[in-house]
Chains A and B, each alone.
Chain A
């Protein structure tokens, strides 16, 4: 048994008071979960502590909270790990707060309808059957179903939404959970509207190109759904398979970057911005270039960039790099290794497999 100090953020909406932190001392074995500790507090010390919980086994998704500032499931987080992680860890104190990006109803309970479920509903989260519907089952390749199982494994706990940094600055961002849900359909061969779903999310200024690529959702997810990876897959299918050139510069930026490296081997920043808008003389790029002028001027003034360097960056092996682009982009089908499906090889056993 070990002693832990649970520091819980309390909020009683009926009191008229601001939220406050309350500390509870609890004695439990170190491998027990933070949820067990909170339930012990609720059972023995203060029955008014509010937290959603049900299965205790990381499958129902009820107990999403922020522990030491990071979202996760309370039932899935061990006390000893929680007390020793983070810069301010003291081996005994565990800070538990409600999830972020969502309004707080009471204590550790947030209003998921207002944010999480609203966004899920926005992506038309039901199968739109490809016609004709067969008499028996749709025939679907084994790997396809396993692939979609990754996003099907989402338990809607909200941890990814809680910690999404794009959503912090842009509350309208469709978000990681809804994007993963969208991929569940885009990746399902039985769905009839792959193009429509992608076009919708690509053109939405708060859609898939609004993701700031920070990995917080991948880190927060207790089920390996890897929402950000699903967003990247949505982008990939949208741009490569459907050539959807969105108004948000997502498609153009991706292609500009790839073209840039293909040509130069290294990134030539000066080309990247205008090309992301459509090209140096493109009508769309001109206002952006004009508004970037002060920044460019400052850079030049400081000696950061010189016109010569900006335009004549030379790479030592341009032909070799180009060859790789040619070989791989010339393939009939994209090759993608999804570790969720293939797993990581075991040194000893898989060598023979």
Chain B
């Protein structure tokens, strides 16, 4: 039975960074991932990572941009921590080997990004997430004696001790089907977002909200669940992401009439306004009939010099060619807003701690909150690394004062029972993929850029109906070697739990702020609504809504224009 000081679930940027930090602090560390670590969705992050490293820049400026970007819902103490620590993190990454872009003098170079008052986004072509993730994995390979890696292990349950603290997890070795108890003094959830609850989404198939649901199920509160980011530039058919870096390099948005419409919505920042502003602008153009017949807007990257595109936007040249049949250096590519990121998640403090002793969360799975109602581009990579590191350090320190838990073997029997129940289903129900499709289409229709009470109510009905249906969903594979069917059934349960909390929070906030826009409550109302909405599972199993205050340090809420 593996027993470690720090157990990390999820091996994207936050998880791997936490592992390295905890190992550095002398703790015994295990990291579990349901896919090989380099397949984690962090790998798809493209544009870059923000930091006020430039001497002419200041962390206060970065922090203010973030606060404003969050539509004043972000907790300013956490934002200060993140922005203050960002420059050192960039240098740590660079020393570890990340191949950050260099300017003409050989120093770190920046590009412009959305919502930023000055260029402070450090990058590697348009594969920044991949470059950092692979370098972190290189470091994990280097530290293989200090960090035990459990690659392709699926976590099914979080364990709790008699006092309600988190004491580890049960995970299944995907290759053999064998279940194992992982004891740990502290557990860090780093399992990412829940994009697959929407269809389409930019998110990978593995983004099924596992950690959010698992935390929710052991009683940890979720926060800001209504804040779902729709990224302005995604391919219409399959939801694939076209990085904000394109706009950072100078690309323009045009409607079907050839108008550069952002001049009307954000006269100063234009295409580089914050994402919610741009997405709403695009959706309005489309809804009001100025979009193209397929419901899209044109992103014109031909404005960027061709040589620069080939050097700095190579990945989207490939995406354009392979997935849209377009040469972006010669013609515009058609895009529309698409579900991309969840600002909400498991509520934590600035060290990643949840109210459950021993349970931490970092990265997209968590809500500190640094992003509030809307996340700025290139702040997510930063978020994962800063809070991944902090959680790792804090969890390692905590381990010194805590005894190693030992879960009883009965726990395994229970977990196996759940798997067996899935395998024993009679097959009469609808297939997992059908239920998932209905969930995704419903969420994308009623819980998207523009929402209203009627739509949200309908969405909640559908989600609840699907929740009833899910335990009977049919699967085909009864084997134990690499049974992806069973995992899909478990993931469906996670997605439905998460979807329910999203809809409830959206219904509760009768206001428009950040990414949440209610056509029935179109104004921001600081007097009534300047607070977070939390959702927790009550003892009776039903969701309970509450509020949490927004921490304000330096920046009083103002009107937000770009």
Contact = CB atoms under 8 A, between A and B. Distances in A.
A56 interface: yes
A123 to B, nearest CB: 11
Interface string B23-55: 000000000000110111101100000000000
A347 interface: no
B485 interface: yes
B38 A149 contact: no
B102 A54 contact: no
Interface stretch (A130-138, A227-235, A272-280, A323-331): A130-138
Contacts of A54: 35, 39, 41, 204-206
Given A155-B38, A155-B130, A47 B240 contact: no
Interface in B417-438: 431-434
Interface string B140-180: 01100000000100000000000000000000000100000
Contacts of B323: 57
Chief secondary structure at chain A's binding surface: loop
Interface string B288-323: 000000000000000000110011001100110011
Contacts of A113: 151
Interface residues of A, number: 60
Contacts of B127: 59, 149, 152-153
A109 interface: yes
Contact of B91 (A126, A127, A136): A136
B432 A47 contact: yes
Contacts of B96: 127
Contacts of B278: none
B44 A142 contact: no
B205 A12 contact: no
Given A55-B43, A55-B44, A153-B127, A109 B431 contact: no
A170 to B, nearest CB: 24
Contacts of A343: 306-307, 310-311
A20 B262 CA distance: 56
A168 interface: no
Interface in A113-143: 113, 120-121, 125-127, 129, 133, 136-142
A213 interface: no
A56 B434 CA distance: 19
Contacts of A120: 141
- A31, A112, A133, A153 — most chain B CB neighbours (10 Å): A153
A27 interface: no
Contacts of B434: 43
Nearest to B87: A136
A54 B38 CA distance: 11
Contacts of A139: 105-107
A1 to B, nearest CB: 14
A25 to B, nearest CB: 17
Interface in B100-132: 100-109, 124-125, 127, 130-131
Nearest to A77: B322
A53 interface: yes
B241 A57 contact: yes
B499 interface: no
Contacts of B477: 47-48
A185 B137 CA distance: 15
Contacts of B241: 57
Contact of B134 (A14, A146, A152): A152
B284 interface: no
A320 to B, nearest CB: 36
A106 interface: yes
A44 B318 CA distance: 30
Given A54-B204, A62-B35, A188 B99 contact: yes
B541 interface: no
A44 B134 CA distance: 35
B481 A106 contact: yes
A50 B481 CA distance: 10
B17 to A, nearest CB: 15
B555 interface: no
Interface string B419-461: 0000000000001111000000000000000000000000000
Contacts of A282: none
A58 B44 CA distance: 9
B552 interface: no
Contact of A112 (B36, B141, B482): B36
Interface residues of B, number: 69
Nearest to B433: A43
Interface in B312-339: 314-315, 318-319, 322-323, 325
A46 to B, nearest CB: 6
A137 B39 contact: no
B124 A125 contact: no
A43 B492 CA distance: 13
B366 to A, nearest CB: 21
Nearest to B477: A48
Contact of A142 (B104, B124, B151): B104
B465 interface: no
B205 to A, nearest CB: 5
B35 A52 contact: yes
A141 to B, nearest CB: 5
A12 B477 CA distance: 11
Contacts of B206: 54
A182 to B, nearest CB: 12
A55 B125 CA distance: 19
Contact of B319 (A13, A53, A57): A57
B61 interface: no
A268 interface: no
A231 to B, nearest CB: 20
A145 B102 contact: yes
Contacts of A47: 431-432, 475-477, 484-485, 488
A161 to B, nearest CB: 14
A148 interface: yes
A203 B224 CA distance: 58
A129 B481 CA distance: 42
Contacts of A190: 97
Given A55-B44, A153-B127, A155-B130, A48 B141 contact: no
Contact of B131 (A48, A56, A152): A152
A107 B106 CA distance: 48
B479 interface: yes
A56 B479 contact: no
29 contacts: A12-B479, A13-B481, A43-B433, A47-B477, A47-B485, A48-B485, A53-B205, A57-B44, A57-B323, A58-B322, A59-B127, A59-B315, A60-B41, A112-B36, A113-B151, A120-B141, A121-B141, A127-B97, A137-B108, A138-B94, A142-B101, A142-B109, A146-B311, A149-B127, A149-B131, A188-B97, A188-B99, A341-B311, A353-B307
Given A55-B204, A57-B323, A152-B124, 12 more contacts: A43-B434, A47-B484, A54-B35, A54-B39, A60-B40, A61-B43, A62-B39, A138-B94, A139-B105, A142-B109, A155-B38, A349-B306
Q: Sort A-B residue pairs by CB-CB distance and give the 9 closest, nearest first.
A: A43-B433, A127-B97, A48-B477, A47-B476, A47-B485, A139-B106, A126-B138, A126-B142, A54-B204
Interface of B: 35-36, 38-41, 43-44, 91, 94-97, 99-109, 124-125, 127, 130-131, 134-135, 138-139, 141-142, 151, 175, 204-206, 238, 240-241, 306-307, 310-311, 314-315, 318-319, 322-323, 325, 431-434, 475-477, 479-485, 488
